[in-house]
Amino acid sequence: MKVLVVGVGGREHAITWKISKSPRVTKLYCAPGNAGIAEIAECVDIPVTKHEELADFALSEGIGLTVIGPDDPLAEGIVDVFESKGLRVFGPRKNAAIIESSKVFSKNLMKKYNIPTPFYEVFDSPDKALDYLRAGKYPIVVKADGLALGKGAIICMDYAEAENAVKEIMIDRIFGESGSKIVVEEFITGREVSVLAFCDGTHILPMTSAQDHKRAKDNDMGLNTGGMGTFSPSPFYTGDIDDYCKKYIYQPVMDAMKAEGRDFVGVLFTGLMLTEDGPKVLEFNARFGDPETQVVLPRMKNDLVDVMEACIDGRLDEINLEFEDNAAVCVILASEGYPERYEKGFEIQGLDYFRDKEDYFIFHAATRKDNGKVLTNGGRVLGVTALGSTLKEARAKAYEGTGKIYFKNKYMRTDIGRAIEQN
| Dist CA 304 CA 302 (whole Å) | 6
Instruction: Specify whether 350 is located in the same domain as 391.
Output: yes
Question: Is residue 395, in this structure, part of any structural domain at all?
Answer: yes
| Dist CA 155 CA 166 (whole Å) | 12
Q: What is the pLDDT along the chain (423 residues), one digit of tens a residue?
A: 999 999 999 999 999 999 999 999 999 999 999 999 999 999 999 999 999 999 999 999 999 999 999 999 999 999 999 999 999 999 999 999 999 999 999 999 999 999 999 999 999 999 999 999 999 999 999 999 999 877 788 999 999 999 999 999 999 999 999 999 999 999 999 999 999 999 999 999 999 999 999 999 999 999 889 899 999 999 999 999 999 999 999 999 999 999 999 999 999 999 999 999 999 999 999 999 999 999 999 999 999 999 999 999 999 999 999 999 999 999 999 999 999 999 999 999 999 999 989 999 999 999 999 999 999 999 999 999 999 999 999 999 999 999 999 999 999 999 999 877 655
Question: Is residue 106, in this structure, part of any structural domain at all?
Answer: no
Instruction: Specify whether 279 is located in the same domain as 259.
Output: yes
Domain CATH for 141 = 3.30.1490
Q: In the chain, how many domains are there? A: 4
Question: Is residue 302, in this structure, part of any structural domain at all?
Answer: yes
Q: Cis (ω within 30 of 0) for the bond into 233?
A: yes
Question: Is residue 373, in this structure, part of any structural domain at all?
Answer: yes
Instruction: Specify whether 195 is located in the same domain as 314.
Output: yes
Instruction: Specify whether 13 is located in the same domain as 65.
Output: yes
Instruction: Bin 236: left if φ > 0, else alpha if -120 < ψ < 50, else beta.
Output: alpha
Asked if 102 and 179 touch (Cβ cutoff 8 Å), the reply is no
Question: Is residue 246, in this structure, part of any structural domain at all?
Answer: yes
Instruction: Specify whether 131 is located in the same domain as 213.
Output: no
Range of the domain at 165: 125-180
320 Cβ partners below 8 Å, 6+ apart?
none
Instruction: Specify whether 172 is located in the same domain as 211.
Output: no
Instruction: Specify whether 335 is located in the same domain as 297.
Output: no
pTM of the model: 0.96
Could you give the count of Cα atoms lying within 13 Å of 200 in the half-sphere of its Cβ? 17
Domain CATH for 248 = 3.30.470.20
Asked if 362 and 354 touch (Cβ cutoff 8 Å), the reply is yes
Instruction: Specify whether 343 is located in the same domain as 309.
Output: no
Instruction: Specify whether 339 is located in the same domain as 384.
Output: yes
Instruction: Specify whether 216 is located in the same domain as 273.
Output: yes
Instruction: Specify whether 310 is located in the same domain as 378.
Output: no
